[in-house]
Structures are given as structure tokens and as C-alpha cells.
Amino acid sequence: MSNEQIKSLEEIFEARIARDEKIEPKDWMPEKYRKTHIRQISQHAHSEIVGMLPEGNWISRAPSLRRKAALLAKVQDEAGHGLYLYSACETLGISRIELYDQLHSGKAKYSSIFNYPTLTWADMGAVGWLVDGAAIINQVPLCNTSFGPYARAMVRVCKEESFHQRQGFEIMLKLCNGSKQQKDMAQDALNRWWWPSLMMLGPTDAESVHTEQSMKWKLKRKSNDDLRQQFIDQTVPQADLLGLTIPDPDLKFNEQTGSYDFGTIDWDEFWQVVKGHGPCNKQRISARVAAWDNGSWVRDAAMAHAAKKEALKIKIAI
Amino acid sequence: MDNNWPLWEVFVRSKNGLEHRHFGSLHAADEDMALENARDVYTRRNEGVSIWVVKSSNIKASNPAHNGELFEPAQDKVYRHPTFYNVPDEVKHM
């Protein structure tokens, strides 16, 4: 194809998206659109998969059967969300095994929030309340994104996600209405998860390299800073309700904007974690790689069994 | 030997009276495992009463680049629609 032909195809393509038409896997698309989507959807899938690890840590130590069943169901949902997203990503012409290789080799990123440790039971509350809360803010606009399979996966994800946040808040509420020790535990979890949750919404608009193109393709409907403000404005009253203090001395309601002003985020910490130097980066990836490697004989056995069954079917047919 | 599990397409009937609808895809070693995985991945909240799985490689899809010759012939056949035919207003039940 000549450069001119590609240029006119690109114009037609951009116009389709501007008209809110969806792009489906077999449609022509610019190479950059394909690559950007593979990057974003796979990062999202990897985040769901790695996101199971910090919570999996607490399944066997949940304080009651009710909490255990809820946490188990939440972690199972995350596995499901990872699978919806991986298969949406595969429609762009990349295989599951390539996607796994990118995660395991460190070539692909996942949300940096999962590189923080879950030290106490209150962390299960804080993760559900804050991390899933921030994730929902990020994800809801994606239900309308331009790439059909991604949008459809996100509709399913968002429908399932709201129980995650509510069960987290309920854990916090229970602790905050309990003994002093329990309330202290909840406050400690908030102290540790607050800032990483704000970072989770991405670098500031000034630093965000992909925003403009992503807005055009409806991979993003609001900027990182707007999403962060929305998250803070909706979360602060919830913390008040719990009787907990947000660990930010500069946090103050601004009568003029109707929003909360907040302190400076430690972006050095964010980039350190993104670059692999967070408290748990190595632990997370090695747990994931070990799970994959240790499951190898099971996958092989299942394939051998499938081949044997297939051969038997053919033999009976003859 | 390629030991990567093949891809399957999953179709779910949400309740009797409705058709099976495409829900997504997944990897599984064989059709029985594909059904079990589909149950776990796509129907964790009573989304269905029946599941079909089809190996993705068995699906032949039309190419959107050929949409013109495939679908355009239907566009100028307005006589396939009831509004093409003129009937006086007095005629009822038609």
C-alpha cells in the first residue's frame, strides 16, 4: 500500500471513531492503534492476574467463613477479568503465550499498586475500598472505548467490580466499629494505601505521554488529574464516615472549586516502583512465574489426554 | 510438540427462549475442559442455562474488506420492505 492510500485509510478510520462507531478485530486499523491497544489491554489483564497475589495471601487467614467466601469470590473474579481481557487482547493478533512471556520477562508492565505488601487483615479492607475504588473510576469510561472486544470485556468487568469495593468498605467499617486495636489497624492500612492509590490513577497530565492520542481513540475519556480529583472527592467523605484520617496534612475542602485540595504526591516513589524497585516487584513476578512453571506438567498432561481421546474417537468412527 | 491449549469461542443462552449469544473466548485442552472453564469464566453469577463451545479455528469469518460485495447488494432492494408498497389509508390491518 502506498503512503497516500494508508493516509486516506487512517482518515476514514479516525472519522469512524469520531462518529462513535466501534472497531472490530478484523477491521483495518493503523498499526499504532493495534500496538497501543495490545499494550493497554495486556497491561490491564496482567494487573488483574498479579492483583490476585496480594489478596490470595489472606484467603487462608480470613477472620470468618463469610469473609473467606467473599475474598475467594473476589480473587476468582480477578482471574476471570484477566481472562476476559487476555482474550480481547488476542483478537489483535497476539497469542496468549506471547502475552505471558511479556509479563514473565518483565517486558510488560502491570499496575504498580500490586507491588505493595498486604501486611494485616485491614489491608484487605483498604485494597477493596481504595484500590478497587480507583480501578472503577479508571474502568467505567472504558465501557465506551472504541475497540469492540475491549469495551465488551469492560462492561462485564465493571458489572462485577462493585461488590469488590463494597466488601472492602464493609471490612473497614467493621474494624472501625471494633476495638481500639482494630481501628488502629484500619488507620494504619489507610495510611499505607492512600498515596499509592492516588498514584494508581497515573502520572500528572503534564507527564502523561499517551493522553492526547488515547483521548482520540476513546481509550481515555478523562485525564489522569481529573480522575484523581474525582477519586479524592468521593473518598474523603467515606473516610470521614469511617472516622479515619486521610494521611495528608494539606488536604482541605476548597469552597470555590467544590473539590478537595491535596498535598504533593511523591512521584519519585511512583517511578521507582514502576521501574521494578517497589517493595514486592520481585516477589510478585517470581510467584507468577513459579505458578506458570509448576503448572507446566498439568498443561502437558491435559494436552496428552486430549490427543488420546481424539485418537480414540477416530478409531471408534472407523 | 505445541503444548499450548487451543482457543475456544463461548456461546451462552441466558435463559430459555433466548438464543445462544457469543460471550467471549478461552483456552482449554479439549472440549470438555472448554465447557468447564466456560462455566467458571463466564457464568459465575447465573448468567446462563446452556453453554456451547466451538474451537475458534473451526469458525470461518467474513472479511470486512469485502463488506461491499457481500452486503451492498441488499441496499438497493427496497422492494423487500413493506414500506415500498403503496396501499390506501382506508385499508386496515395491513
CA–CA separation, A33 and A216 (whole Å): 11
Nearest CA in chain A to B37: A80
pLDDT band at A130 (very low <50, low <70, confident <90, very high): very high
3-class SS at B59? coil
Residues in chain A with CB shorter than 8 Å from the CB of B65 are 28
Do the chains contact at B26 and A87, CB–CB below 8 Å? yes
Helix (H) / strand (E) element for A157: namely helix A148-176
DSSP letters of B76-94?
T-GGGSGGGS---TT----
Q: What is the ipTM of this complex?
A: 0.89
Q: Are strands B20-27 and B50-55 parallel, antiparallel or unpaired?
A: unpaired
Tell me the domains of chain B and their CATH numbers.
Answer: 2-80 (3.10.20.520)
Q: Are strands B7-13 and A259-261 parallel, antiparallel or unpaired?
A: unpaired
pTM, two decimals, is: 0.93
Contact A8, A121 (CB under 8 A): no
CA–CA separation, A10 and A34 (whole Å): 13
Q: Of B29, B45, B63, which is closest to A305 when you measure between CB atoms?
A: B29
Give the pLDDT confidence score for residue A207 in this predicted structure: 85
Note the pLDDT tens digit of each residue in B30-73: 999 999 999 999 999 999 999 999 999 999 999 999 999 999 99
CA–CA separation, A85 and A284 (whole Å): 20
C-alpha cell at A237: 467523605
Q: What is the mean pLDDT of chain A?
A: 95
Residue A308: φ, ψ to 5°: -65, -45
Nearest CA in chain B to A302: B29
Residue A244: φ, ψ to 5°: -105, 160
CA–CA separation, A135 and A85 (whole Å): 15
DSSP class of residue B23? E
Q: Are strands B20-27 and A259-261 parallel, antiparallel or unpaired?
A: unpaired
* Structure-derived torsion over alpha carbons of residues B31, B32, B37, B39, reported in degrees to the nearest 10: 110
Lowest mean pLDDT among A146-150, A201-205, A240-244, A284-288: A201-205
- A208-213 long-range CB contacts below 8 Å, 24 or more apart? A210/A36, A213/A32, A213/A36
CA–CA separation, A262 and A228 (whole Å): 10
C-alpha cell at A130: 481504595
CA–CA separation, A94 and B72 (whole Å): 32
Contact A265, A228 (CB under 8 A): no
Residues in chain B with CB shorter than 8 Å from the CB of A88 are 24
3-class SS at A280? coil
CA–CA separation, B40 and B28 (whole Å): 12
* Structure-derived torsion over alpha carbons of residues A44, A46, A47, A49, reported in degrees to the nearest 10: 130
CA–CA separation, A189 and A183 (whole Å): 10
Measured at the alpha carbon of residue A51, what is the angle toward residues A271 and A241, in degrees to the nearest 5? 85
Q: Minimal CA–CA distance to A222: which of A234, A209, A245, A205?
A: A205
Note the pLDDT tens digit of each residue in A154-202: 999 999 988 999 999 999 999 999 999 999 999 999 999 999 999 999 9
pLDDT band at A148 (very low <50, low <70, confident <90, very high): very high
Determine contact: B64 vs chain A, CB below 8 A: yes
Do the chains contact at A309 and B24, CB–CB below 8 Å? no
Of the residues B37, B39, B44, B55, the best mutation for testing chain A's interface (the one with the most A CB atoms within 10 Å of its CB) is B44
Instruction: Reduce the secondary structure of A190-236 to three states and give it as a string.
Output: HHHHHHHHHHHCCCCCCCCCCHHHHHHCCCCCCCHHHHHHHHHHHHH
Note the pLDDT tens digit of each residue in A49-69: 999 999 998 999 999 999 999
